[in-house]
């Protein structure tokens, strides 16, 4: 099986399978496997109003400025992917974030949509859509 094999989800370069591997790697805390799904020139955009708002570039930039920070600030941060809509290189995933903020101890359970563009078996673009007010409320200490 080579990189062009599309029958095995572990090695497939189909856009859906690449995105699914990214979610599995993230859930497992396997940053090396997550970086392996990202193009060297990836552009990863966290929504305005989200605690990590901005666009991050390079696989190391994404993991160090997004995944590692989420792991530092939240217990059990998980993106639960449940519905995939795929058209060519575009993959839209409807998902849910769950976590508990380490400082406020408040639980987060919020719906989210992610838009990925996958080319050549790698994620080249990501954009997040989420109710940032719900995320901010979960991070706000009690009494504020």
Q: What pLDDT digit, counting tens, does each position of 64-84 carry?
A: 999 999 999 999 999 999 999
Distance CA 14, CA 122 (A): 9
- Would you give the DSSP letter of residue 140? S
Spatial CA neighbour of 18 closest among 97, 128, 118: 118
Helical H runs in 8-144? 15-28, 31-35, 59-62, 68-73, 132-139
Element (H, E) at 107: strand 107-119
pTM: 0.91
CA distance 52 to 114: 15
Q: Which of 8-12, 43-47, 50-54, 59-63 has the lowest mean pLDDT?
A: 8-12
pLDDT above 90 (res 6) = no
Contact 91, 84 (CB under 8 A): yes
- Residue 120 is given by DSSP the state T
């Amino acid at each position: 099986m080579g990189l062009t094999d599309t029958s095995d989800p572990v090695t497939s370069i189909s856009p859906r399978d690449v995105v699914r591997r990214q979610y599995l790697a993230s859930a497992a805390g396997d940053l090396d496997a997550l970086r392996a799904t990202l193009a060297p020139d990836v552009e990863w955009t966290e929504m305005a109003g989200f605690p990590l708002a901005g666009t991050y570039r390079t696989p190391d930039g994404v993991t160090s400025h997004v995944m590692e920070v989420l792991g530092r600030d939240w217990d059990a941060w998980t993106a639960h992917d449940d519905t995939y809509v795929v058209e060519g290189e575009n993959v839209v995933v409807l998902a849910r974030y769950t976590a508990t903020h380490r400082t406020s101890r408040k639980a987060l359970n919020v719906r989210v949509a992610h838009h990925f563009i996958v080319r050549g078996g790698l994620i080249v673009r990501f954009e997040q859509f989420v109710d940032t007010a719900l995320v901010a409320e979960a991070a706000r200490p009690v009494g504020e």
